[in-house]
Amino acid sequence: MSEGGYSATTRGIRVSVEPFFLEEQSSPDEGRYVWAYRVEIANEGAVTVQLTHRSWSITDARGRVQKVHGPGVVGEQPVLAPGESFEYTSGAPLPTPSGFMEGAYHMVVPDTGETFDAIIPAFSLDSPHAAMRRH
């Protein structure tokens, strides 16, 4: 993951996120702004874990919040042994030129059945259109 991303570690699970604006998929005149974000989930702990579900909170520039819950990520429920990591890229559209996302990955320790949430750090969705003022 390159510098300039966002990172949080919960119980040895490091979640790093790097968002980027997709100009070619966005239509500012139609109120559609699209971002992609690359996520790396790294197990820096001592036990194997499995990501079972995700929960996202997506907030646009007007303060409207969209909650997203679902099984796994990109159709997978990865199992991460100590030292392993999993990367994926996904996307999010907004009706405003900026916003932010945050959330959690719901993890289970297969050996014990214990569950915990690995925090997804809050990250900004910024576009070049956010600073523009139309008169």
Answer yes or no: is 134 within a domain: no
User: Is 62 within 8 Å of 96 (Cβ atoms)?
Assistant: yes
2: pLDDT strictly greater than 60? no
Name the pLDDT band for 135 (thresholds 50, 70, 90). very low
Question: Coil, strand, or helix at residue 82?
Answer: coil
Answer yes or no: is 65 within a domain: yes
Mean pLDDT calculated for residue range 115-119: 98
pLDDT at 130: 77
Q: Give the chain's domain count.
A: 1
Encoded tokens for 3: 């510098």
48 burial (CB, 10 Å; 0-12 / 13-18 / 19+) is middle
CATH of the domain at 79: 2.60.40.1470
Answer yes or no: is 120 within a domain: yes
Q: Which of 1-5, 72-76, 101-105 shows the lowest mean pLDDT across its residues? A: 1-5
Q: Please give the C-alpha separations between residue 49 and each of 69, 70, 88, 99, 119, in angstroms, as whole numbers.
A: 19, 18, 17, 31, 14
4: pLDDT strictly greater than 90? no
pLDDT at 114: 97
Answer yes or no: is 131 within a domain: no
Range of the domain at 12: 6-126
Answer yes or no: is 135 within a domain: no
Answer yes or no: is 112 within a domain: yes
Name the pLDDT band for 5 (thresholds 50, 70, 90). confident
In this predicted model, which residue has the larger pLDDT, 1 or 69?
69
User: Is 130 within 8 Å of 98 (Cβ atoms)?
Assistant: yes
